[in-house]
Amino acid sequence: MEETMQGTLHVLDYLVVLGFMILFVYVGFFFYKRQSNTSHYFKASGSLPSWAIGLSILATLISSITFLAYPGAAFASNWILLVQGLMVPVVLIFLVHFIVPFYRKVIGISTYEYFEKRFGYIARLYTSLAFTIAHFSKMGTVLFLLALAISSMMGLNIYMTLIVLGILVILITFIGGIEAVIWLDVIQGFMLLAGGLLCIFVMFIAAPGTPLDMIEFAWNNEKIGFGPYDWDLTRLTFIVMAMNGVFYAIQKYGTDQTIVQRYLTARSHREAIKASLVGVLLCVPVWMLFMFVGSMLFSYYNMSDPAVIEGLRPDAVFPLFIVSELPIGITGLILAGLIAAAFSSLDSDLNSLSAVGVEDYYKRLVQGRNDRHYLLVGKLIVVFCGIGALGIAFLYIAAEDESVLGVVFTLYAIFSGGIAGMFLLAIFTKRANKQGLYVGIGACVVFTAWGMLTSQPIGVAERPVLDLGRFNYTHHSYMMGVYTHLILFGVGYLASFLFPKFQADDSLTIYGYWKDQRRSREKMSQTARSQSEQGQE
């Protein structure tokens, strides 16, 4: 792999990084003795405060992808990739008050237990496999980005860096469980935010112009904005990212184990809802902060010395700034924040993959064992998943011609598998049955295969694998993350009418929630009337 830079840090910076790494491992060991059963290892026995869970959601959603690739994307283009994140609070406002208490009532540990109750085990298998594939891809990307930055800053071998970082993440997750993961996320969330703000402050102080000059320069060069805004589904446009973002939000907060598992760690429904809102409402400003960092990096270097960044990958510009422009000690702090950002995402993924592995697969194959046995298996799954993510990270090293962030979103679009469509089908329809769902899954798989084979490969070849001429898939790859959900929902619902009439249990749909809400309001109204009548007497 060609090195983008070779950095030499001051001894104080190394000590700062080492100190934080020791702190991360210490937190893992601090919670080690509490991990005596699967409930505590995966749910912290529902004992955590809402503010900590909210910060954990924040830290889980903002990883080294946010820390490095968002500035790189804004430096190279503009803020269009942020549009996906902006859709999250819009969608969650409509979902959170229903979905959080719903999952806390319906499932034990695995999100995908709900899909089995609604549509049978094949639905559970399909959704859990989609989660596993997507998160292995994500973990490999996060590890790759982290190792790329650390090795280039410190002049280390990227393969050795990957191995060391991977071992540390596996160790922390293995010994500390979800409780250590969440409390580490709290620390890491603060570090990430402080790192971004410190970098902006240093750029504003050291730049040849004023902060307003830098913002104006970035604006004039179209580095701040969400365009293009034209209605074109074949290119990366605002409308493409907005539609993708709606289904991303539904899938992330309605079906993703890393988020739903956080709902289960809260002390009550109210606390879990509060935690979800805290996490989401903090995410958008942080995402915007790191996009702003990228825009200001463009202004900083182009207004001072453009030759410094000539020929440098956009993903490597922020690491260059951290190494060469920040004061001694602050560089180490930012570097520790970068590591913390990656760890906060990786440890969450590992714990959630372990939960899914135990609940959705192992307990099906090996039944009747005691909880201690399943806890041991869960910890072993953490190790195996961590090693698998390392393998994917090594593969990413060869994919230097494609924007790393672009690869992440494309993988999401391809491997989302219509899960959000299945969720909507399960929640909002009572007529949909498992036979109809299976037809919908089949249609979704066929469409995805056609789209993958007939579309332009990701920087691999000039022609698609299967060239059908005018019947090729020509829309942007991110739109596959929209179409798959719509196809599964539409086909699954219509196909259900081809099979014997079926009526889902209200408790497994939103209609049960609405009935409960109506009964609750009627009860409150009756209580108020009764109190009023007693007062008049």
Question: Is the same domain home to 368 and 469?
Answer: no
- In this predicted structure, the answer to whether residue 439 has a pLDDT above a threshold of 50 is yes
In terms of domains, do 258 and 229 share one?
A: yes
Determine the Cα–Cα distance for residues 346 and 49; give it in Å rounded to an integer: 22
Q: How confident is the model at residue 536 (pLDDT cuts 50, 70, 90)?
A: low
Higher pLDDT, 11 or 410: 11
Q: Phi/psi at 48 (nearest 5 deg)?
A: -95, 150
Q: Which pair of structure tokens corresponds to residue 132? A: 């596993």
What pLDDT digit, counting tens, does each position of 154-172 carry? 777 888 888 989 999 999 9
Q: What is the pLDDT of residue 60?
A: 76
Residue 352 in 3-state DSSP? helix
Cβ within 8 Å of residue 200, ≥6 positions away: 289, 292, 293, 296
pLDDT for residue 400 is more than 70: no
Span 293-337, pLDDT tens digits: 999 999 999 998 888 888 888 877 888 888 888 888 888 888 888
Measured distance CA(472)–CA(452) in Å, rounded: 10
SS3 for 361?
Answer: helix
Domain check: are 431 and 370 in the same one? no
- pLDDT tens sequence across 365-399: 998 899 999 999 999 999 999 998 888 888 777 65
Residues whose CB is less than 8 angstroms from the CB of residue 42 and which lie 6 or more positions away in sequence, other chains included: 109, 177, 178, 261, 264, 351, 354, 355, 358, 378
Backbone φ, ψ for residue 320 (5° rounding): -60, -45
| pLDDT band, very low/low/confident/very high, at 8 (cuts 50, 70, 90) | low
pLDDT reading at 265 higher than 50: yes
Domain count, the chain: 2
Tell me, what's the pLDDT at 281?
84
Residue type, 354: S
- List, in sequence order, the alpha helices (H) in 305-329: 314-325
Task: Give the type of residue at 220.
Answer: N
Domain assignment of residue 529, yes or no: no
pLDDT at 1: 39
- Residue pair 177/40 in contact (Cβ under 8 Å)? The answer is yes
61 pLDDT more than 80: no
pLDDT of residue 4: 44
User: Phi/psi of residue 523, each to 5°?
Assistant: -65, -40
Q: Of 366, 397, 428, which marks where a domain is finished? A: 397
Residue 50 lies in a domain: no
Mean pLDDT across 451-462 = 68
Q: What is the mean pLDDT of residues 477-498?
A: 93
For residues 521-529, give the mean pLDDT: 75
- The predicted pLDDT at position 130 comes to 84
User: Predicted confidence band at 228 (pLDDT cuts at 50, 70, 90)?
Assistant: very high
Q: Are 504 and 430 in contact (CB under 8 A)?
A: yes
What percentage of the chain exceeds 70 in pLDDT?
A: 92
In the structure encoding, which two tokens stand for residue 343, read together? 């760890």
Structure confidence at residue 537 as a pLDDT band (50, 70, 90):
low
pLDDT at position 193 over 90: no
Give yes or no for a contact between 431 and 496, defined as CB atoms under 8 angstroms apart. yes
Pull the structure tokens for residue 108. 């034990």
Residue 509 has pLDDT above 50, yes or no: yes
What is each CA distance from 356 to 62, 71, 129, 377, 524, in whole angstroms? 22, 33, 9, 12, 40
Same domain for 447 and 314: no
Same domain, residue pair 428 and 302: no
Q: Are residues 226 and 289 in the same domain?
A: yes
Q: How far apart are CA 82 and CA 79, in angstroms?
A: 5
Is 292 a residue whose pLDDT tops 50? Answer: yes
- Tell me the three state secondary structure of residue 48: strand
What is the model's pLDDT at position 2?
41
Distance CA 254, CA 264 (A): 13
Residue 69 has pLDDT above 80, yes or no: no
143 shares its domain with 289: yes
pLDDT at res. 382: 93
pLDDT of 497 higher than 90: yes
- The H or E element spanning position 468 is none
pLDDT at residue 116 in the model: 94
216 domain-assigned: yes
Q: What CA–CA distance (Å, rounded) separates 293 from 245?
A: 22
Same domain, 317 and 426: no
Q: Is residue 409 within 8 Å of residue 482, measured between CB atoms? A: no
pLDDT score at 3: 43
Which domain does 431 fall in, by range?
Answer: 417-504
Task: Give pLDDT, residue 421.
Answer: 94
Query: End of a domain among 397, 427, 459?
Result: 397
Examine residue 509 and state whether it is found in any structural domain, yes or no: no
C-alpha–C-alpha distance, residues 32 and 48, integer Å: 16
- Cβ atoms 496, 433 nearer than 8 A: yes
The average confidence (pLDDT) of the chain is 85
Residue 366 structure tokens? 């090996």
Instruction: Tell whether 387 and 435 lie within a shared domain.
Output: no
Say yes or no: 310 and 421 in one domain: no
Residue 401 has pLDDT above 50, yes or no: no
Q: Is residue 385 part of a domain?
A: yes
Which one-letter DSSP state was computed for residue 379? Answer: H
Residue 511: inside a domain: no
**Statement to judge: residues 195 and 308 lie in one domain:** yes
Contact 30, 180 (CB under 8 A): yes
CATH of the domain at 181: 1.20.1730.10
Residue 353 and residue 424 in one domain: no
Token pair recorded at residue 9: 């840090």
In a domain, 91, yes or no: yes
Choice between 255 and 44, residue whose per-residue pLDDT is larger: 255
Length of the chain: 537
Is pLDDT above 70 for 414? no
Residue in 352, 337, 345 with CA at minimum distance from that of residue 188: 337
For residue 54, tell me if it sits in a domain. no
Does 176 have pLDDT greater than 80? yes
Do 42 and 261 meet the contact criterion of CB atoms below 8 Å apart? yes
